[in-house]
Amino acid sequence: MKLTTGEFEGMACRIDRLQTEQGLVLYISGRLATEDLEVVRVAIEGRRVVALELAEVELVSRDAVKLLIHAEATGIELRSCPAYIREWITNERESS
C-alpha cells in the first residue's frame, strides 16, 4: 500500500526529549512524516542524540526511513524499532 501525505492527516507526531548521562534520547510517537523530520534532523546534526525511541511510532514516510538509516549509520541507536520499519530500513539499504 502506498501512503500519501493525505493519509497521514489527522495523526500527529510527538517528539519528547530526555537528557541522560549518555546524551539526548528522542521519544517519537504517532506518525513521522516528511514535514516532521526537521526537528529530528537538527538534533541529530547537533550530535547530541544518542538514541531514538520508536516503540510508539505508527507510520513513517520514506524520507523518515532514510533519516533513520542515516541516524543509525552515525551511531544513533534505534530503540524498540517496529518490525515493519526495521524491514523497510533493511530493504532500503539493500537497494542502495
Per-residue pLDDT reduced to its tens digit, 32-44 = 988 889 988 988 8
**What pTM value is reported for the model?**
0.84
Q: From CA 69, how far away is CA 53, in angstroms rounded?
A: 14
The full DSSP string for 12-69 is -EEEEEEE-SS-EEEEEEEEE-GGGHHHHHHHHHTT-EEEEEEEEEEEE-HHHHHHHH
Digit-coded pLDDT (tens) for 70-84? 999 999 999 999 999
Instruction: State the cell numbers at 29.
Output: 510517537
Q: Which CATH superfamily is domain 11-95 in?
A: STAS domain (3.30.750.24)
